């Protein structure tokens, strides 16, 4: 009897552990080119700020059997939210929620022989538990990258009920962790799709120019399914180009071919239609070809040095005060970057939506894509290395065919003294390089000291970063120690290009001073002076390859609690949340015109 109990308990435990750990799959790429049925639209929700829904098991959707039965939850009668879209901006009760919302969507399906079905999420912030017809199908952690579940055989003919628990509580060992300077928009923030495929389909591919080459593509195609060994063909009709290859027993085919490509650049953002065809699947994409390298102290695009005229952008539509996700939201942000004079956008501090990256590429904007490895990450926590690796895989997998993306940024403002920080980030750099050797890999640091008007930049991690990416706030967080034109820079890796990834200061738009007043904090004049001084100093920075003001628009950040000037906004924008250009905007615009 005793052994029966023990075995039973053990099996139960293993079962619970297993069920609790069914993680989502890394998603197939290029969803837009697949056979999809959108599950976007209205979803019914239960608001669960105290987290009682887990205990009540709301995904079971129990219904009363007798008149006197009662069940203490129901989706029926609940409010509806739009998917995609953050929940905070949709219902005033949810404005400040960092907690759980249960989402429900019904959909019809008719199973087809030899077809597979996947449920794909563009992103859910931060953690998602997903249930289909009362059964848990898996979980995902991380608010800004796509994931999927295969539901072939789990989906019913007829009506199906999909329930998603979206929980945006902060985790000490999360990515990001507890503290960050942006609004924690929760919910199903990006598209949800059903994707139907053949039994064997093209899951992934990597078609980009080989590092350093202007005419040779080196890449691969990967199949998923039972019929892994097939012939695949890669065609670029405009170039009359077609190459065949055979996939191996793992479903991988490696290809290399040459052509006289018109190269993608900010001036000519040329994309080619590319079609990948196997016996069982076809996927098409629009792909550009360009080379990006660091050569000595220069960043080199298509063989010529380029100055990176960038701006920082958060994924927020300032006018809607909401997470950005529509084509219109994306265009609003990117057009404002173009108008400022940029050829590059730093999309902070997490991977932005896929359409944003595609749109930037089409508009001739180079893209910096970043992991939410921000400031206080618990690198010594036993779960963090796996989370880092999964998120890296998800980010690189999704956008590796976007030639517009020139930088993978793996961290922002982590501290050299944090236990296991260097080890973890060095390992992450190596993993990133193994996934994609064609782009720059960067860590952003603010490890510096400023003495006698000399700015000393150092951090052991810069050894592993292709750029010396520096966030410096001289004139705002750090007062000037002399004339900006005389500020000297002393960089610990003097042979690498230096990129000022952040600088600036806050101003409430319209808070103008009289001409004789000395400019004071929060005024547009004070911010303008910071920019004038910074621009003067840029002339003294050795190997300067680009600058990136913090940031395009004022944006919501609840830690900004000066109620006169901030009122829940970080006011370092060059443009206010109402679209007014501040004086500093014109300084930057002028600088970019000159460069
Ligand atoms: C930084 C951070 C950025 C902040 C900014 C600020 O260094 O990287 O996320 O929002 O400073 O405004 O303080």
Q: Whose CA is nearest to atom 9 of ligand 1?
A: 181
Distance 373 CA to ligand 1 centre (A): 13
- The four Cα atoms 334, 337, 341, 346 give a dihedral, to 10 degrees, of -100
Distance 196 CA to ligand 1 centre (A): 42
**How far apart (Å, rounded) are the C-alpha atoms in residues 439 and 408?**
7
- 294-594 in CATH: which number? 3.20.20.80
Quickly list DSSP for 67-99.
Answer: TT---S--STT--EEEESS-STTT-GGGTT--S
Q: Which atom of ligand 1 is nearest to the CA of 180?
A: 9
Among positive and negative, which fits the CA dihedral 336, 394, 194, 174? Answer: negative
Distance 175 CA to ligand 1 centre (A): 16
Q: Which atom of ligand 1 is nearest to the CA of 349?
A: 9
- Is residue 502 in contact with ligand 1, taking CB distance under 6 Å? yes
Token pair 């920082």 in the structure block, residue: 312
Q: Which atom of ligand 1 is nearest to the CA of 348?
A: 9
CA-wise closest residue to 312 among 580, 555, 579, 584 = 555
Q: At the top level of CATH, which class does the domain 201-290 belong to?
A: mainly beta
Distance 182 CA to ligand 1 centre (A): 9
Is the Cβ–Cβ distance between 459 and 416 less than 8 Å?
Answer: yes
Give me the pLDDT at residue 27, please. 98
Task: Report CA-CA distances (Å) from 249 to 198, 224, 278.
Answer: 18, 11, 15
Distance 136 CA to ligand 1 centre (A): 38
Give me the pLDDT at residue 519, please. 81
- Is residue 181 in contact with ligand 1, taking CB distance under 6 Å? yes
- Is residue 200 in contact with ligand 1, taking CB distance under 6 Å? no
Superfamily of domain 24-198: Galactose-binding domain-like (2.60.120.260)
SS3 584: helix
Token pair 């100055």 in the structure block, residue: 307
Pocket test for ligand 1, best of 550, 558, 566 (most atoms within 8 A of CB): 550
Q: Where are the domains of the chain?
A: 24-198, 201-290, 294-594
pTM score, two decimals? 0.96
Is the Cβ–Cβ distance between 289 and 209 less than 8 Å?
Answer: yes
* Overall residue count recorded for the chain in this entry: 595
CA-wise closest residue to 499 among 469, 522, 519, 538 = 469
- Is residue 412 in contact with ligand 1, taking CB distance under 6 Å? yes
Give me the pLDDT at residue 566, please. 97
Q: Which residues contact 162 (CB under 8 A, 6 or more apart)?
A: 39, 104, 105, 106, 107, 119, 130, 131, 132
CA-wise closest residue to 308 among 279, 343, 358 = 343
Q: Which atom of ligand 1 is nearest to the CA of 572?
A: 12
- Is residue 436 in contact with ligand 1, taking CB distance under 6 Å? no
Distance 471 CA to ligand 1 centre (A): 8
- Is residue 570 in contact with ligand 1, taking CB distance under 6 Å? yes
Pocket test for ligand 1, best of 471, 554, 555 (most atoms within 8 A of CB): 471
Distance 181 CA to ligand 1 centre (A): 7
Q: What's the complex ipTM?
A: 1.00
Give me the pLDDT at residue 511, please. 73
Distance 347 CA to ligand 1 centre (A): 13
Q: Which atom of ligand 1 is nearest to the CA of 444?
A: 8
**How far apart (Å, rounded) are the C-alpha atoms in residues 290 and 214?**
7
- Which residues, listed in sequence order, are joined to residue 149 by a DSSP beta bridge? 119
Number of Cβ within 10 Å of residue 476's Cβ equals 18
**How far apart (Å, rounded) are the C-alpha atoms in residues 184 and 322?**
10
**How far apart (Å, rounded) are the C-alpha atoms in residues 345 and 453?**
30
Ordered mean pLDDT values, 10 residues apiece, the chain (595 residues) = 49 48 92 98 98 98 96 96 98 98 98 96 98 98 98 97 98 98 98 98 98 96 98 98 98 98 98 97 98 98 98 99 98 99 99 98 98 97 98 98 98 97 98 98 97 97 98 98 98 97 97 71 96 98 98 98 97 98 98 97
Give me the pLDDT at residue 22, please. 85
**How far apart (Å, rounded) are the C-alpha atoms in residues 591 and 341?**
9
Give me the pLDDT at residue 10, please. 53
Give me the pLDDT at residue 514, please. 61
SS3 content of the chain, % helix, strand, coil (to 5): 20, 35, 45
Distance 128 CA to ligand 1 centre (A): 28
Q: Whose CA is nearest to atom 4 of ligand 1?
A: 181
**How far apart (Å, rounded) are the C-alpha atoms in residues 30 and 16?**
34
């Amino acid at each position: 009897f005793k052994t029966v109990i023990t075995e039973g308990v053990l099996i139960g435990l293993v079962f619970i552990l297993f069920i609790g750990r069914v993680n989502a799959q890394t998603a197939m790429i290029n969803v837009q080119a697949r056979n999809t049925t959108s599950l976007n639209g209205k979803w019914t929700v239960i608001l669960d700020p105290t987290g009682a829904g887990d205990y009540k098991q709301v995904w079971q959707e129990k219904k009363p059997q007798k008149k006197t039965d009662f069940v203490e939850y129901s989706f029926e009668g609940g409010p509806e939210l739009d998917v995609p879209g953050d929940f905070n901006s949709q219902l005033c009760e949810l404005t400040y929620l960092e907690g759980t919302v249960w989402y429900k969507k019904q959909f019809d399906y008719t199973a087809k022989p030899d077809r597979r079905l996947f449920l794909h999420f563009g992103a859910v912030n931060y953690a998602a538990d997903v249930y289909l017809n009362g059964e848990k199908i898996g979980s995902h952690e991380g608010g800004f990258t796509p994931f999927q579940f295969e539901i072939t055989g789990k989906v019913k003919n007829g009506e199906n009920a999909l329930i998603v628990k979206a929980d945006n509580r902060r985790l000490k060992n999360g990515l990001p962790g507890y503290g960050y300077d942006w609004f924690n928009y929760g919910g199903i923030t990006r598209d949800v799709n059903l994707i139907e495929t053949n039994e064997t389909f093209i899951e992934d591919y990597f078609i980009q120019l080989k590092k350093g080459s202007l005419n040779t593509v080196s890449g691969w195609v990967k199949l998923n399914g039972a019929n892994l060994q097939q012939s695949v063909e890669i065609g670029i009709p405009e170039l009359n180009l077609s190459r065949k290859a055979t996939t191996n027993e793992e479903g991988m085919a490696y290809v290399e071919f040459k052509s006289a490509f018109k190269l993608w650049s900010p001036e000519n953002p040329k994309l080619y239609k590319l079609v990948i065809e196997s016996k069982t699947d076809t996927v098409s994409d629009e792909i550009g070809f360009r080379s990006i390298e660091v050569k000595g102290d220069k960043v080199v695009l298509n063989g010529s040095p380029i100055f990176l005229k960038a701006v920082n952008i958060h994924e927020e539509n300032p006018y809607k005060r909401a997470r950005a996700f529509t084509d219109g939201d994306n265009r609003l942000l990117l057009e404002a970057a173009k108008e400022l004079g940029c050829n590059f956008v730093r999309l902070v501090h997490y991977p932005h939506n896929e359409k944003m990256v595609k749109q930037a590429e089409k508009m001739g904007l180079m893209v910096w894509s970043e992991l939410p490895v921000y400031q206080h990450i618990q690198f010594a926590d036993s779960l963090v290395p796996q989370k880092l690796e999964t998120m890296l895989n998800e980010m690189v997998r999704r956008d590796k065919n976007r030639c517009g993306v020139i930088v993978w940024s793996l961290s922002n403002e982590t501290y050299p003294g944090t236990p296991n920080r260097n080890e973890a980030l060095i390992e992450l750099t190596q993993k990133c390089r193994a996934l994609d050797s064609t782009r720059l890999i960067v860590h952003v640091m603010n490890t510096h000291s400023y003495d006698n008007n000399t700015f000393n930049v150092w951090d052991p991690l810069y050894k592993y970063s292709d750029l010396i990416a520096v966030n410096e706030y001289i004139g705002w967080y750090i007062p000037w120690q002399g004339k900006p034109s005389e500020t000297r820079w002393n960089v610990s890796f003097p042979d690498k290009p230096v990129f000022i990834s952040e600088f600036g200061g806050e101003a409430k738009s319209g808070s103008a001073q009289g001409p004789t007043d000395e400019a004071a904090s929060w005024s547009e004049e004070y911010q303008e002076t910071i920019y004038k001084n910074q621009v003067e100093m840029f002339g003294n920075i050795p190997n300067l390859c680009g600058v990136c003001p913090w940031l395009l628009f004022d944006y919501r950040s609840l830690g900004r609690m000066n109620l006169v000037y901030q009122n829940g906004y970080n006011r370092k924008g060059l443009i206010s949340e109402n679209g007014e250009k501040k004086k500093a905007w014109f300084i930057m615009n002028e600088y970019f015109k000159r460069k």
